[in-house]
Amino acid sequence: MNKVEKFLNSKFLVTLFSILLGFVVGALFLLPMGISPVEAYAKLFDGVFGSVRNMAYSVVYATPLIFTGLAVAFSFRTGVFNIGAEGQFVMGSMAACVVGILVPAPSIILVPLCFLAALAVGAAWGLIVAFLKVKWGINEVLSMIMFNWIAFYLSNYIADLPMIHNEGNAEATKNVQDAARILFPKAWLDALCPASNWGIVLAVLAVILVYVIIEKTTLGYQLKAVGFNRSAAEYGGISVNKSIYIAMAISGALAGMGGAIQLLGMGSRISIFTAQESFGFQGISVALIGASNPIGVFFAGLFYGALKYGGSKLNLIGAPSEVINIIMGTVVFFIAISHVFRFVKKRKNNKKGEA
């Protein structure tokens, strides 16, 4: 009985329930448009699971989201709200792009170099914000929003520089060298999809790494202590400022890494943006759905990636893909108020107890 109750109150079930409600609300929007939700969701399901190719694409779509989700989750666990993952992602992506276009090197050197650049620049983008906070006490949410936009325009500016700009195409950079790509071998691509890449393997490694850092290491202990209770951490001899730097650097590096994987795996070039691509913001939802747990984030990332890819197929039956945003928003909304479900259950239990 106790186990059943525990399961009923578990975050996992609440999340599943929230997802279910998300689809219900999505259906409520589709109906008045004269679109059968059954048909739409069948299409969506088919778009994700209908073929190996679709599944492979879903994974490709999910990979960068797992990284930004990890970045945000890591920041949540260490007491910062990294709303700046967007900018760190963009900068990491651009760093990998510049290296991937300009540095003449064989794959074995070039790929790690691209990742290194992305990690470093993503971390630096996070560190600037941490520095502003530690040094001048500037609200990190505010400065992250600013640095998201600075990254956005800086990326556009760099993409426009003659050295990397694509002469033929006014709206994007050149493609990165083939040596910089991280696609699976040709035979695998034929079996899966043309964009399948090593990113997902790196994502799994990142999940394990983040899990170990948070749960098993003294570093994780220290960062969590600062996140939960700054004063107690300081009292315990933990340097709060150092912890903020480390946490933001790791979080930024994760987001930057996501940017590099999106580029080297999927995009191969960076377009001049007209609007933020929102990988970072979507990472916030992924972190929330995954309850800031690295393993939860992995599955939440897959879920979101699948919806994103499957959702793009909805247009085929005349259903707007925005229904995906409504579903995601609803899921997050119900997760926000999920404690209410649990409370209701508890009350019911109490009543039983009294009767």
What is the rounded CA–CA span in Å between residue 63 and residue 57? 10
Q: From 15, 3, 93, select the one nearest 328 (Cα to Cα).
A: 15
- Distance linking the first and last C-alpha atoms of the chain: 18
CB of 268 to another protein, least distance (A): 22
Does the footprint of another protein cover residue 320 (CB under 8 A)?
Answer: yes
What is the rounded CA–CA span in Å between residue 206 and residue 212? 10
Complete DSSP assignment for 23-79: HHHHHHHHGGGT--HHHHHHHHHHHHHSSHHHHHHHHHHHHHHHHHHHHHHHHHHTT
Site for another protein in 219-238 (CB under 8 A): 219, 221-222, 224-225, 228-229, 231-237
Residue 55 vs 154, nearer CB to another protein: 154
Does the footprint of another protein cover residue 146 (CB under 8 A)?
Answer: yes
What is the rounded CA–CA span in Å between residue 22 and residue 40? 14
Stretch that binds another protein, among 115-123, 182-190, 198-206, 324-332 (CB under 8 A): 324-332
Residue from 243, 285, 297, 303 in contact with another protein (CB under 8 A) = 285
Residue 181 vs 313, nearer CB to another protein: 313
Does the footprint of another protein cover residue 112 (CB under 8 A)?
Answer: no
Stretch that binds another protein, among 96-104, 250-258, 263-271, 332-340 (CB under 8 A): 332-340
What is the rounded CA–CA span in Å between residue 211 and residue 224? 13
Does the footprint of another protein cover residue 196 (CB under 8 A)?
Answer: no
Stretch that binds another protein, among 94-102, 166-174, 262-270, 329-337 (CB under 8 A): 329-337
How far lies 209's CA from each of 215, 217, 242, 254, 313, in Å? 10, 11, 20, 11, 34
Stretch that binds another protein, among 97-105, 141-149, 162-170, 180-188 (CB under 8 A): 141-149
Does the footprint of another protein cover residue 270 (CB under 8 A)?
Answer: no
Does the footprint of another protein cover residue 160 (CB under 8 A)?
Answer: yes
What is the rounded CA–CA span in Å between residue 171 and residue 97? 15
> How many of the chain's residues bind another protein (CB under 8 A)?
66
Reduced to 3 states (helix: H, G, I; strand: E, B; else coil), residue 176 is coil
**Contact present, 99 and 117 (Cβ < 8 Å):** yes
CB of 135 to another protein, least distance (A): 8
CB of 232 to another protein, least distance (A): 5
Dihedral sign, CA of 309, 314, 316, 320?
negative
What is the rounded CA–CA span in Å between residue 64 and residue 203? 8
Residue 287 corresponds to which tokens in the numbers above? 């972190």
CB of 222 to another protein, least distance (A): 7
Stretch that binds another protein, among 37-45, 98-106, 137-145, 294-302 (CB under 8 A): 137-145
Residue 49 vs 149, nearer CB to another protein: 149
User: Which residues, at least 6 apart from 326, have a Cβ–Cβ distance to it below 8 Å?
Assistant: 22, 25, 26, 29
Rule CB under 8 A: which residues touch another protein? 29, 32-33, 81, 83, 132, 136-139, 141-143, 145-150, 153-154, 156-157, 160, 216-219, 221-222, 224-225, 228-229, 231-237, 239, 274-276, 281, 284-285, 288, 320, 322-326, 328-330, 332-333, 335-337, 339-340, 350
